[in-house]
Amino acid sequence: MPGILIYSDNITLTKQLITAGLLLKEKMNQPVYVILTGEQDLTGIANTAADEVFVLKGSNPWPESYADAIANFASTEQISAGLFGGTPRGKDIAAKVAAKLGAGLVTEAQSVEFDDGCLLTTRLLYGGLAVATEEVKLPALATIAPKTFEEAGSSDKQTEVITIEAANELNQITIGETCPVVREGVELSAANRIVSVGRGVGKKEDLSMIGELAQAFDAEIGCTRGIAEDYHWLPVERYIGISGQKVKPDMYFGVGVSGQVQHLAGMRESKVIVAIDMNENAPIFEAADYGIVGDLYEVVPLLIEALKS
């Protein structure tokens, strides 16, 4: 029966997608089907307001190996909308399912509505410079980033969980070792204050000065993509931007950050944005609440001194 499909390899995200699915249900009048794969933890899923819960069980534990089974489910049930968790695995699975269904897919939709027989979605373009409103023909799929929706609460009902056998053997692929990524320092997205380093900082040794500034603010250190990926001065986990960390601290303080749009897209929801840069016309100042135009090597030591006294 036509319905709204929910899937994520991350169960917290599944609960957030259920909220989005239930909002769509109000207008579409179709049931919300939640799909879990393999050994995913059912806790807290069956007592949400979702209409049906299906567990696809196959012999292979790799989440991506379920793309075919999810696509088969979607075409058998003739689903009209599919919401997928916007994790790296989820985006891959969603695109494979979309290709198999011959369906449209909106990546990292920020809003999803049903309107005039189509899904109406919004998303960012050009590294965050613009917002596109798009119309997707049914069946329509979308991936949704973590924390876009609140987790669905529990309801009184206890939904029956239906297990479906899935053929998900892989012939040409074997999955080797997985290693947790060792993060240095705290989770940047949880930091209240962030001092961010850009290419205006001339050499790696100068990071100690920035460290002192961060300390004076009780802030974490973040950076632009160039500092992490081109210069390798700071770990990749510390770069802020549309393809890196998305942060919204109480204060973002950019030092030598010019403000390329891809970077801005990762920090522009910060409460207060401050910037120091040489170039008066740098785009960072348009995105900032407060700024100082000047040589950071002159300004930062003065600032540290002022903050200490």
Partner 1 sequence: MPRILVCYKWVLDEQDIKIVSLGLSLDVSRAKYKISDYDKNAIEEAVRIVEKNGGSVEAISFGTSLKQSFKDVLSRGVDKVYAIDSSIAENADAYVTANVLAAAIRKIGPYDLILCADGSSDVYNQQIGSRLSALLGLPGITSVSQINCEGDRISATRKLGDCTEVVHIKGQAVISVLPEINSVRIPTMKQVLAAAKKPSEEIKIDALGLSDAELLPKVTKVSVKGFVMNRKNIVFKDANQKDNVSKLVASLAKEGLLKERG
For partner 1, the closer CB: 69 or 265 = 265
Minimum separation from the CB atom of position 258 to partner 1 (A): 10
Query: Distance (Å, rounded) from C-alpha 173 to C-alpha 38?
Result: 18
For partner 1, the closer CB: 179 or 186 = 179
Minimum separation from the CB atom of position 155 to partner 1 (A): 30
For partner 1, the closer CB: 135 or 151 = 135
Query: Distance (Å, rounded) from C-alpha 172 to C-alpha 51?
Result: 37
Amino acid at 172: Q
Q: How many CB atoms lie within 10 A of CB 99?
A: 12
Minimum separation from the CB atom of position 290 to partner 1 (A): 5
| Residue 229 DSSP one-character state | I
Query: Distance (Å, rounded) from C-alpha 144 to C-alpha 126?
Result: 18
**Beta-carbon contacts of residue 291 (< 8 Å; ≥ 6 apart):** 274, 275, 276, 277, 284, 285
Minimum separation from the CB atom of position 281 to partner 1 (A): 11
Minimum separation from the CB atom of position 145 to partner 1 (A): 12
For partner 1, the closer CB: 156 or 280 = 280
For partner 1, the closer CB: 18 or 93 = 93
Contacts 24+ apart (CB under 8 A), 239-243: 240/188, 240/194, 240/196, 240/266, 240/267, 241/265, 241/266, 242/124, 242/127, 242/128, 242/266
Q: Taking the C-alpha atoms of 83, 87, 88 and 93 in order, what is their torsion angle to the nearest 10 degrees?
A: -30
Minimum separation from the CB atom of position 253 to partner 1 (A): 9
Query: Distance (Å, rounded) from C-alpha 156 to C-alpha 18?
Result: 16
For partner 1, the closer CB: 21 or 104 = 104
